[in-house]
């Protein structure tokens, strides 16, 4: 993630604070300057940065310390709070009230509409909704097939006709087609064949009139940085029911600029796109986003990822319990590594764990596909007892397993090492550590762990 750079810079500003012996005015001002620099580097509007950092500085210098809180902790909390407010404070979601709920997606060509629609469809499908997609992009010949291909693995139906030239007609027909099919949600894709805001709004008006959507979603390319302001503003003025998806935040150094610019217009960001895969969509929650950015970890986000997995029957809640208690065996570990492989980079997930920040050793998180395959072969040569109680595996067993699986003693040891490392790691994130962190951050939600 390129936003990682912003996160790193903010994180190192806070680390500087943590390292200093005395927290006086000079230190506070230096930290504030570092934060300023980090934000401006990621293309956040200078005026917004100055306003924000002025507030942080004022609060840090003037506010009375709550009892039992150190000056450093207090400043971290202020930075966290102000950044959270800066990015919109509360998470907002797309409400599905009526059946069918019709959503229309608009945005400039290349902004990521079609990809985002596929992501949204999958997101809602995972939550139990039956979704139908309508392609009205009559400009790009491949548009219909692009969407179809993206959602094919999930059996989501796409309505469209590559021969038809009338987008409005397609929109109307598509919506009535899926109404008859009794789906829960209909999402309509549009072409967005225009260069600037005016054309975009006009297209939205026309299709809107034809299908009367419950919500219009504007898709904005995050790589345009603070230019996102004008698009979001024009959109917000034209529609009271809009929501926004900011895409490509995985690759853009300007992501911070795009996000803050959109928030500054008062238009709600509901999702962010963080990759090209259908899974790479995240509900936008400023609290969660900022704590991750600052390297404070994000237990809530982690839980949500686990939850999604368990919905796919790949990872169940009791398994998570096992892991968090450090009571898992080799079979559990394998299932989990496999699941994480499917879910995307393990590193991304582990970054959400409090205290881990960006300091995870790479060799620990990069369990590549090849290694996973090798693990599987090795495990196939183990007895049931060994899989369930890996602690009994002594040297002579290691030799036998290596021989049986056609691997080496070193390979078997590597697997056991991975297991022991993981065990240590999960044991390290015990409840006390989590609850200390929760206290520090105040209002953050660490639900699910009973702390
Ligand atoms: N890295 C990255 N690429 C994205 C993201 N969203 C879309 N893209 C890519 O951006 C390009 C344009 O996307 P598309 O959905 O066709 O845009 P549309 O013209 O608005 O429908 C494609 O190559 C997508 O794979 C994202 O969140 N991250
Ligand atoms: Mg498209």
Residue position matching structure tokens 């892991």: 323
Q: Please tell me the distance between residue 143's alpha carbon and the centre of ligand 1 in angstroms.
A: 12
**pLDDT of 22 above 90:** no
> In which band, very low, low, confident or very high, does the pLDDT at 450 lie, cut at 50, 70 and 90?
very low
Nearest to 1 by CA among 288, 363, 348: 348
User: 31: part of which helix (H) or strand (E)?
Assistant: helix 25-41
Report the alpha-carbon distance of residue 303 to residue 308 in Å, rounded. Answer: 9
* Protein residue with its CA nearest to atom 25 in ligand 1: 276
| Weakest-pLDDT range from 40-54, 262-276, 319-333 | 319-333
Report the alpha-carbon distance of residue 431 to residue 96 in Å, rounded. Answer: 36
In a domain, 450, yes or no: no
Report the alpha-carbon distance of residue 376 to residue 191 in Å, rounded. Answer: 46
**pLDDT of 446 above 70:** no
Report the alpha-carbon distance of residue 446 to residue 437 in Å, rounded. Answer: 10
Question: Same domain for 266 and 327?
Answer: no
- What's the pLDDT score for residue 197? 72
Of all ligands present, the nearest one to the C-alpha of 258 is 1
- What's the pLDDT score for residue 316? 53
Query: Would the annotation count 250 as a binding residue?
Result: yes
Which ligand 1 atom is nearest residue 111's CA? 20
Q: Please classify residue 5 by burial: count the beta carbons closer than 10 Å to its beta carbon, then call 0-12 exposed, 13-18 middle and 19+ buried.
A: middle
Question: Same domain for 324 and 437?
Answer: yes
* Residues making up the chain, counted from first to last: 451
Residue position matching structure tokens 């899926």: 178
Domain closes at, from 86, 113, 143: 86
In a domain, 448, yes or no: no
Report the alpha-carbon distance of residue 179 to residue 102 in Å, rounded. Answer: 10
Range 324-332 average pLDDT: 78
Q: What is the CATH number of the domain that holds 234?
A: 3.40.50.300
Mean predicted lDDT score pLDDT of the chain: 81
Residues above pLDDT 90, as percent of the chain: 45
Report the alpha-carbon distance of residue 97 to residue 415 in Å, rounded. Answer: 49
- What's the pLDDT score for residue 245? 96
- Find the angle CA(249)-CA(251)-CA(253) to the nearest 5 degrees: 80
Q: Please tell me the distance between residue 213's alpha carbon and the centre of ligand 1 in angstroms.
A: 23
**pLDDT of 52 above 70:** yes
Which ligand 1 atom is nearest residue 146's CA? 16
Q: Please tell me the distance between residue 112's alpha carbon and the centre of ligand 1 in angstroms.
A: 4
Task: Quick: pLDDT tens for 205-249.
Answer: 888 899 999 999 999 999 999 999 998 998 888 887 789 999 999
Beta strands 281-283; 269-273: pairing state:
antiparallel
194 vs 123 pLDDT, higher one: 123
Query: Would the annotation count 109 as a binding residue?
Result: yes
Residue 194 and residue 203 in contact, taking contact as beta carbons nearer than 8 Å: yes
Question: Same domain for 177 and 283?
Answer: yes
Question: Same domain for 259 and 398?
Answer: no
- Token duo for residue 23: 């927290």
Q: Please classify residue 313 by burial: count the beta carbons closer than 10 Å to its beta carbon, then call 0-12 exposed, 13-18 middle and 19+ buried.
A: exposed
> In which band, very low, low, confident or very high, does the pLDDT at 48 lie, cut at 50, 70 and 90?
very high
Question: Same domain for 213 and 254?
Answer: yes
* Protein residue with its CA nearest to atom 26 in ligand 1: 248
Q: How many of the other CB atoms lie within 10 Å of CB of 319? A: 18
Q: Please tell me the distance between residue 448's alpha carbon and the centre of ligand 1 in angstroms.
A: 34
> In which band, very low, low, confident or very high, does the pLDDT at 123 lie, cut at 50, 70 and 90?
very high
In a domain, 128, yes or no: yes
Q: Please classify residue 377 by burial: count the beta carbons closer than 10 Å to its beta carbon, then call 0-12 exposed, 13-18 middle and 19+ buried.
A: middle
Question: Same domain for 307 and 286?
Answer: no
> In which band, very low, low, confident or very high, does the pLDDT at 147 lie, cut at 50, 70 and 90?
very high
- What's the pLDDT score for residue 356? 44
Question: Same domain for 286 and 305?
Answer: no
Of all ligands present, the nearest one to the C-alpha of 144 is 2
Residue 107 and residue 219 in contact, taking contact as beta carbons nearer than 8 Å: yes
- Token duo for residue 167: 């987008």
Question: Same domain for 252 and 324?
Answer: no
241 vs 135 pLDDT, higher one: 135
Report the alpha-carbon distance of residue 201 to residue 168 in Å, rounded. Answer: 15
Question: Same domain for 287 and 305?
Answer: no
Task: Quick: pLDDT tens for 330-353.
Answer: 888 877 667 665 554 444 555 555
- The residue to mutate among 115, 120, 259, having the most atoms of ligand 1 within 8 angstroms of its beta carbon, is 115
- Find the angle CA(323)-CA(324)-CA(326) to the nearest 5 degrees: 60
Which ligand 1 atom is nearest residue 274's CA? 27
Range 102-109 average pLDDT: 91
Query: Would the annotation count 287 as a binding residue?
Result: no
Q: What is the CATH number of the domain that holds 7?
A: 1.20.120.140
Residue 130 and residue 185 in contact, taking contact as beta carbons nearer than 8 Å: yes
Residue 292 and residue 298 in contact, taking contact as beta carbons nearer than 8 Å: yes
Q: Please tell me the distance between residue 193's alpha carbon and the centre of ligand 1 in angstroms.
A: 15
In a domain, 449, yes or no: no
Domain closes at, from 260, 293, 326: 293
Structural domain that includes position 405: 299-441
Q: Please tell me the distance between residue 393's alpha carbon and the centre of ligand 2 in angstroms.
A: 54
| Weakest-pLDDT range from 32-41, 193-202, 348-357, 365-374 | 348-357
Residue 292 and residue 352 in contact, taking contact as beta carbons nearer than 8 Å: yes
Question: Same domain for 215 and 305?
Answer: no
Range 252-280 average pLDDT: 91
* Protein residue with its CA nearest to atom 17 in ligand 1: 112
Beta strands 281-283; 101-106: pairing state:
unpaired
Q: Please tell me the distance between residue 297's alpha carbon and the centre of ligand 1 in angstroms.
A: 28
Most confident of the following: 80-84, 153-157, 337-341, 413-417: 153-157
Query: Would the annotation count 114 as a binding residue?
Result: yes
Instruction: Kindly list the protein residues whose Cβ atom lies closer than 6 A to any atom of ligand 1.
Output: 107, 109-115, 192, 219, 247-248, 250-251, 273-276, 280
Question: Same domain for 173 and 280?
Answer: yes
- The residue to mutate among 204, 276, 278, 281, having the most atoms of ligand 1 within 8 angstroms of its beta carbon, is 276
Query: Would the annotation count 199 as a binding residue?
Result: no
Report the alpha-carbon distance of residue 60 to residue 45 in Å, rounded. Answer: 22
Report the alpha-carbon distance of residue 242 to residue 270 in Å, rounded. Answer: 10
What's the number of domains the chain is made of?
A: 3
């Amino acid at each position: 993630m390129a936003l990682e750079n912003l996160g790193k810079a903010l994180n190192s500003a806070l680390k500087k604070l943590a390292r200093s012996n005395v927290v006086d005015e000079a230190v506070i001002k230096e930290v504030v300057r570092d934060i300023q620099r980090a934000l401006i580097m990621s293309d956040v509007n200078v005026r917004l940065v100055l306003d924000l950092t002025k507030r942080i500085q004022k609060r840090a210098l003037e506010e009375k310390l709550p009892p039992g809180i150190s000056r450093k902790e207090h400043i971290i909390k202020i930075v966290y709070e102000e950044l959270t407010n800066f990015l919109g404070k509360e998470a907002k979601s797309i409400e599905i009230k009526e059946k069918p709920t019709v959503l229309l997606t608009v945005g400039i060509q290349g902004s990521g509409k079609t990809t985002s629609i596929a992501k949204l469809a999958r997101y809602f499908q995972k939550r139990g909704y039956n979704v139908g997609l309508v392609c009205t992009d009559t400009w790009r010949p491949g548009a219909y097939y692009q969407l179809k291909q993206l959602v094919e693995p999930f059996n989501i139906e796409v309505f469209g006709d590559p021969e038809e030239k009338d987008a409005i007609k397609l929109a109307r027909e598509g919506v009535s087609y899926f109404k008859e099919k009794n789906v829960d949600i209909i999402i309509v894709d549009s072409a967005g064949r225009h260069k600037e805001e005016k054309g975009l709004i006009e297209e939205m008006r026309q299709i809107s009139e034809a299908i009367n959507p419950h919500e219009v979603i504007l898709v904005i390319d995050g790589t345009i940085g603070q230019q996102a302001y004008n698009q979001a503003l024009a959109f917000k003025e034209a529609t009271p029911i809009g929501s926004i998806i900011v895409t490509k935040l995985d690759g853009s150094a300007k992501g911070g600029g795009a996000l803050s610019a959109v928030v500054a217009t008062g238009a709600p960001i509901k999702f962010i796109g963080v990759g090209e895969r259908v899974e790479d969509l995240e509900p936008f929650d400023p609290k969660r986003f900022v704590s991750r950015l600052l390297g404070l970890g994000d237990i809530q986000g982690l839980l949500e990822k686990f939850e999604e997995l368990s919905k796919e029957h790949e990872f169940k809640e009791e398994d998570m319990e096992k892991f968090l208690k450090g009571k898992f065996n080799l079979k559990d570990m394998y299932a989990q590594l496999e699941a994480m492989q499917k879910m995307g980079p393990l590193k991304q997930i582990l970054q959400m764990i409090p205290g881990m920040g960006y300091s995870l050793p790479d060799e620990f998180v990069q369990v590549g596909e090849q290694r996973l395959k090798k693990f599987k072969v090795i495990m196939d040569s183990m007895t049931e007892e060994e899989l369930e109680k890996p602690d009994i595996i002594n040297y002579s067993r290691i030799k036998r397993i290596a021989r049986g699986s056609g691997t080496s003693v070193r390979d078997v040891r590597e697997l056991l090492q991975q297991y022991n490392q993981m065990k240590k790691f999960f044991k390290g994130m015990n409840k006390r550590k989590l609850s200390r962190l929760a206290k520090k951050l105040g209002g953050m939600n660490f639900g699910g762990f009973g702390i």
